[in-house]
A and B are shown apart, each in its own frame.
Chain A
Amino acid sequence: MIIENFTPISGFVGGMLVGLAVVLLFWLSGRIAGISGILASVIGKPGPDAVWRYLFLAGLVAAALGWFGVTGDLRVEVEAGPIRVVLAGLLVGFGARLGCGCTSGHGIAGLARFSKRSAVAVVTFFVVALATATLTGVLLPTEGGG
């Protein structure tokens, strides 16, 4: 197997920052940094506890704005075409709610406290995502397809 584009150092350090953010929020506020849960509870009619969630999401955006302001570079390459993107968004939104969490809540916060539910969720969505992406890669090998 050919290894390509591997960036282990920035990947590990970036991952440590994500882990640090999860620990910070939990240590100081007692909250779990699960993005799908945070986003879902501010859409529709936000509850009384919505402000910190808005601010957390604003922090994500502020990080990107700051990064772009300083480096002038925020690389986001979307290989999937608009139809695939919409389908993916619908499934990610619906699935994350039905499964009570996504890559952050289950994948980092949940695994870090050895939650069995999170471990099962993470193994399930990783296996399914690997199969889906590989199958898509075989069937639609051209860039920007479907």
Chain B
Amino acid sequence: MRLAVAFVSGVVFGLGLILSQMVNPAKILGFLDLSGPWDPTLAVVFLGALAVAVPGMRLVLRRGKPVFGERFALPARGAVDGPLIAGSVVFGIGWGLAGFCPGPAITALVSGEGRVILFVAAMVAGMAAYRIVDRWRTGATDG
């Protein structure tokens, strides 16, 4: 059941990205690039998402546990730290360079456009590189 939920949620998520045209990096750059004509759509997409997610998450959290599961897998509410800021800066540069973030890029693979495939391959490589750096970093401090 949880597997069906994951698939359906992915489909709904993807349809939202497609309907709002967030799968189109030109649309993202139309918002992020202030040097030319401006397209405010991205902000409206976030408003729409939060209009559902803010009350939705609040209602769900009022339940003690998920419908098909024992507990909510929530990230720890830690402090704001260096890696969070540095990672967000690096992510922001990459996002602003091409107008792709992970969800839209994976969804846009279906277009068959070569540079989408190139982006996703590079993104996976970036994640793999992080894993190596992280292992080396934690290994260095532990040892």
Contacts from A to B (Cβ < 8 Å): 1-8, 10-33, 35-36, 39-40, 43-44, 51-53, 55-68, 74-80, 82, 84-104, 106-109, 111-113, 115-117, 120-122, 124-134, 136-138, 141
Assess whether A74 is in contact with B110, with CB atoms less than 8 Å apart.
yes
Assess whether B97 is in contact with A132, with CB atoms less than 8 Å apart.
yes
- Chain A contacts for B136, CB-based, 8 A: none
Interface SS of chain B: helix
- Tell me the complex Cα distance, A47–B75, Å: 18
- Tell me the complex Cα distance, A87–B90, Å: 11
> How many B residues, CB 8 Å from partner?
117
Q: A22-B57, A97-B134, A137-B29 are in contact. List 15 more A-B contacts (CB 8 A).
A: A15-B50, A26-B60, A27-B67, A28-B1, A39-B124, A43-B124, A52-B3, A64-B108, A66-B15, A89-B119, A95-B94, A103-B102, A132-B93, A132-B96, A136-B33
- How far does the Cβ of A70 sit from chain B's closest Cβ, in whole Å? 11
Assess whether A6 is in contact with B41, with CB atoms less than 8 Å apart.
yes
- How far does the Cβ of B5 sit from chain A's closest Cβ, in whole Å? 4
